[in-house]
Amino acid sequence: CVLTQRGHHVPLSNDSTGGRWWQTGDDPWQVLACCMELTSAVRSGDPPSFISHLPVHQDGSCNGLQHYAALGRDWLGAKQVNLVPGDRPQDPYAGVAAMVEEQRAKDAAEGHEIAINLEGKISRKVVKQTVMTVVYGVTWVGGRLQIAKQLRGSIPDDQLWDCSAYVVGEVFRALRQSFAKARGIQDWLSASARKVSLAQRPMEWVTPLGLPVVQPYHKMYQKSVSTQLQGLNMRVAWNPSYPPDTRKQKNAMPPNFVHSLDSTHMMLTALHAHRAGISFVAVHDSYWTHACFVDTMNRICREQFVTLHNEPILSDLAQFLEHKFGDLTYRDNSLEKRKRIQKCIFRDPFPTIGVSKFRYALFL
């Protein structure tokens, strides 16, 4: 006896192999668990009344970009990550892949050798990891390595570096075009952290839930030890009394700030799910509940996202930084000598307006 599901036969006997098609997916054990639950439902004799204990996962659509789109009130970006209503769900990864492929085709038509070598190689899978992590601070080098990993095997090894470098450049270009305000917010967050660290203080802020956050990135202390055989330079682990590491403070601020918004949204959803009496589990932006509670969880998830982003988050952050660090000065050696001493000034990069329309997005 079998149950046909999307063209496959789900085994309903004790033999769980069923042709082993379930082993071909990214999460084969989850597929098998679902098959076993479907089997139990069918065998119960009354599937609609079957009590399922299998958690149903609902994932955000590139939720780092969702937060940036909401922070910047970026309607175009919001549409691409399913924050606004639409007839069908948008796929930001496929969208970026399409933009990269469009540019590749143009370059190939002009005789660009690398673009020609990449014909038929650009896909959603190739760009997904880089698109997903760029909002968390992935660098050009890191993005190139991610794409090289996906291209390996389909591109000759001697062409892999050039091809991955080309693709990561086009991915970054596509993201700048599609999510311009996200880039602006990232730059503002990085610049703010740089000012604070140059003033010899670690970057800190308070989440909308009131949780204080301090970035623990300090310079390492280097100590020289001389022996009869050789001299050694020992790097001692960071200590809060050491000066902040400006580079790490600056680079870490955008991803850490967005992670703090992620955690705030997750906690708000968990609290309201508890009040509604439904089971709730979360792993980052993946929210789980039982099948009978999915609609309720989806409603709560959207409502709490709107509640979070109806707060003037960037304005509050700018005011906090101005109050906390506004009396400090810092030395900026990148400026000409007479202008190097600067005062810490923080301004909200975007005006605050409502985001209530996001509540009605079907595919968040």
Q: Measured between alpha carbons, how far is 127 from 122 in angstroms, rounded to an integer?
A: 8
Q: How many CA atoms lie within 13 A of 252 on its CB side?
A: 17
Cα distances (angstroms) measured from residue 214 to each of 253, 284, 318: 10, 20, 16
Q: Is 106 exposed, middle or buried (0-12, 13-18, 19+ CB in 10 A)?
A: exposed
Residue type, 208: P
Distance in angstroms (rounded) separating the CA atoms of residues 271 and 102? 45
Q: 224 exposed, middle or buried (CB, 10 Å; 0-12, 13-18, 19+)?
A: exposed
How many of the other CB atoms lie within 10 Å of CB of 222?
A: 9
128 catalytic? Reply is yes
One of 91, 128, 245, 262 is an active-site residue; which one? 128
Q: Which of 59, 187, 295, 327 is catalytic?
A: 59
Which residue, among 71, 95, 311, has the nearest Cα to 208 in the 3D structure? 311
Q: Is 343 helix (H, G, I), strand (E, B) or coil?
A: strand
Distance of CA 93 to the CA centre of its chain: 12
65: helix, coil or strand?
helix
**Catalytic option among 74, 91, 245, 285:** 285
Query: Could you tell me the sign of the dihedral formed by the alpha carbons of 347, 351, 357, 363, in that order?
Result: negative
Instruction: Give yes or no: 59 in active site.
Output: yes
Strand, helix or coil at 84? Answer: coil
Alpha-carbon torsion (250, 251, 257, 263), positive or negative: negative
Q: What is the dihedral of CA 298, 138, 239, 191, to 10 degrees?
A: -90
Task: Identify the residue whose tokens are 């970035």.
Answer: 215
Distance (Å, rounded) from C-alpha 202 to C-alpha 218? Answer: 8
**Tokens coding 51:** 């009590």
C-alpha distances out from residue 292 to 52, 234, 288, 325, 359, Å: 8, 58, 12, 49, 21
Give me the active site residues, please: 59, 128, 285
